[in-house]
Amino acid sequence: MFRDREGATLVDSGYGKFNDVTFAQVNAVLEKWGNSSLDRIINTHIHSDHIGGNADLQRAHPGCSIAVPVDEQPALVNWDAPEQMLSYADQECERFAWDDVIEPGQQMQLGGESWHAIATPGHDMGSLVFHSPKLRVLISADALWESGYGFVPPQAIDPKPLAAQRATFNRLAELDVALVIPGHGPMFTDYAGALSRASAKLEAFAADDMKIAKSVVKGMFIYSMMWRGEMALADVPAYVARIGVHRDYNAQFFRMSDEAYADWLVAEAIRAGRVRVDGASLRSA
């Protein structure tokens, strides 16, 4: 969050199922600042875990404006297309109206400093990151994490995101950055190391579409289990037949029966330590 004369700004608003946590954190900061209201939300991209608090926060803070990357507008108009990975990936998000757009190259004032919006297509083709050359800080969203980046789809589905993500890493490498505030995980300082780890991961994925496909469906299932908390084991085959990303990826890449795919997916999520079996239920670990 940032504080300016014009008011308080939040960059990205989390996943809607965790809005109570988001509200508690936002309110704690506002209280500390002696501000009564949140005045602006800026979104880096439009995945559900970055925009999920928008509608609720705007209701709680009337007059709070929402700004989205300009290239995300068609997807927001065409809400819940498969590429948004919303219902297609068993995620939920309340739709919202935006008041403003941010263009690549645009400069913004945040916390009294000048920040540049930089286009980082790949994980999300309309995504932006924000860089302060003076502070040498990068708000990297899902374009770069300490050990990786937000998924890109297999090239057999669409080759453009992976190529775009590669170009994004090259663009990011030109920036002078001492501190990164990523979309997931704690802040970190080893920018060059993170870029080299992320690039190595991308090239390993570029050479192996199956590796990408496995990583996407595992990641989506673990995320759904995290917000659902629990699922009856007996329901998993019907679940993977119903949810688009599992149905389609299984048909295109894995070619298993719903039951075999469900068994494999559950085993992978258990192996990753992210779910556990509890009697007839699968629970988030």
**Residues binding Zn ion (CB under 5 A):** 47, 142, 150
Q: Which residue(s) pair with 77 in the sheet?
A: none
Q: How far is the CB of 36 from Zn ion (least distance, A)?
A: 31
**Residue closer to Zn ion (CB basis): 15 or 98:** 15
What are the C-alpha distances in Å from 93 to residues 35, 68, 131?
27, 16, 27
Q: How far is the CB of 7 from Zn ion (least distance, A)?
A: 26
CB contact at 8 A, 63 and 39? yes
Q: How far is the CB of 128 from Zn ion (least distance, A)?
A: 12
**Residue closer to Zn ion (CB basis): 133 or 244:** 244
**Residue closer to Zn ion (CB basis): 40 or 123:** 123
Alpha helices (H) in the chain, listed in sequence order: 19-33, 48-51, 54-60, 73-77, 160-172, 191-206, 209-228, 236-242, 244-249, 258-271
Q: How far is the CB of 259 from Zn ion (least distance, A)?
A: 31
Q: How far is the CB of 186 from Zn ion (least distance, A)?
A: 17
Categorise residue 279: left if φ over 0, alpha if ψ from -120 to 50, beta otherwise. Answer: left
The burial class, CB within 10 Å (0-12 / 13-18 / 19+), for 244 is: middle
Residue whose Cβ sits closest to Zn ion: 47
Bridging pattern class, strands 107-110 and 100-102: unpaired
**14: nearest Cα among 27, 2, 31, 26:** 26
Residue 236 CA to residue 258 CA, distance in Å, equals 9
**Residue closer to Zn ion (CB basis): 47 or 214:** 47
**14: nearest Cα among 141, 193, 180, 106:** 141
**Residue closer to Zn ion (CB basis): 64 or 86:** 86
Q: How far is the CB of 47 from Zn ion (least distance, A)?
A: 3
CB contact at 8 A, 186 and 180? no
**Residue closer to Zn ion (CB basis): 3 or 45:** 45
Contacts of 180 (CB under 8 A, 6+ apart): 137, 138, 140, 144, 146, 187, 188, 189, 191, 194
**Residue closer to Zn ion (CB basis): 64 or 141:** 141
Q: How far is the CB of 48 from Zn ion (least distance, A)?
A: 9
**Residue closer to Zn ion (CB basis): 7 or 154:** 154
Q: How far is the CB of 151 from Zn ion (least distance, A)?
A: 8
